[in-house]
């Protein structure tokens, strides 16, 4: 019985991810989530609470998967940006889910703020070690790295798609990834003539 319940929860979470990425919280329908998961609608409320709680759980699960798949490395921010780019290329719906979160539930969770603070501290340590330009604010560095890694996914036509809606070809994906990595490398390169701004 436990295995059936776990499988049902997993199907519901997968269906909810797809639904929320497409329609956001306000437009999502619990009936569609249940139908896509092949489950009874009542189970959503039993397992996850209301629609907002389900959205929060779906987003948290997606962020945890991202953190596991793309570990933060302040000593290699270009590589980190490239890994984020790859993760998003493989999961373009994730950027839509994050956009809905920013529109419908702005603000940071306590866990998110703590994780972000740790990354900023790691960037500051890397600056002290001479690996990142110390003339830049560590928070600005992290924000720019994340923005560059995600920039192509906000381009017209949708995440990682050509104008006709087809997925990027390997050559284009590789070219854009290289641009992201190079841009981050240039931003963080230590400038011996610059003094610390932190």
pLDDT averaged over consecutive 10-residue blocks of the chain (198 residues)? 76 96 95 95 94 94 91 95 93 89 87 90 95 94 94 72 75 90 92 55
First to last CA, the chain: 56
Phi/psi at 161 (5° precision): -130, 150
Structure tokens at 136: 């830049």
Q: What is the pLDDT of residue 1?
A: 40
> Residues of 155-172 as b/e, b for ≥16 C-beta within 10 angstroms?
eeeebbeeeeeeebeeee
Q: What is the pLDDT of residue 29?
A: 97
């Amino acid at each position: 019985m436990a295995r059936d319940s776990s499988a049902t929860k997993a199907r519901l979470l997968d269906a909810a991810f797809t639904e929320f990425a497409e329609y956001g919280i306000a437009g999502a329908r619990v009936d569609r989530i249940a139908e896509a998961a092949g489950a009874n609608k009542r189970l959503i409320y039993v397992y996850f609470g209301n629609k907002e709680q389900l959205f929060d759980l779906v987003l948290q699960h997606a962020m945890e998967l991202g953190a596991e798949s793309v570990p933060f490395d302040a000593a290699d921010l270009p590589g980190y940006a490239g890994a984020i780019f790859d993760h998003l290329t493989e999961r373009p719906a994730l950027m839509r889910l994050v956009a809905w979160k920013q529109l419908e539930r702005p603000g940071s969770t306590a866990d998110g703020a703590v994780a972000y603070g740790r990354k900023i501290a790691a960037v500051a340590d890397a600056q002290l070690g001479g690996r990142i330009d110390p003339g830049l604010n560590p928070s600005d560095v992290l924000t720019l790295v994340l923005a560059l890694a995600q920039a192509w996914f906000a381009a017209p036509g949708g995440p990682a798609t050509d104008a006709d809606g087809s997925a990027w070809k390997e050559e284009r994906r590789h070219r854009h990834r290289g641009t992201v990595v190079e841009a981050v490398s240039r931003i963080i390169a230590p400038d011996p003539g610059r003094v610390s701004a932190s």
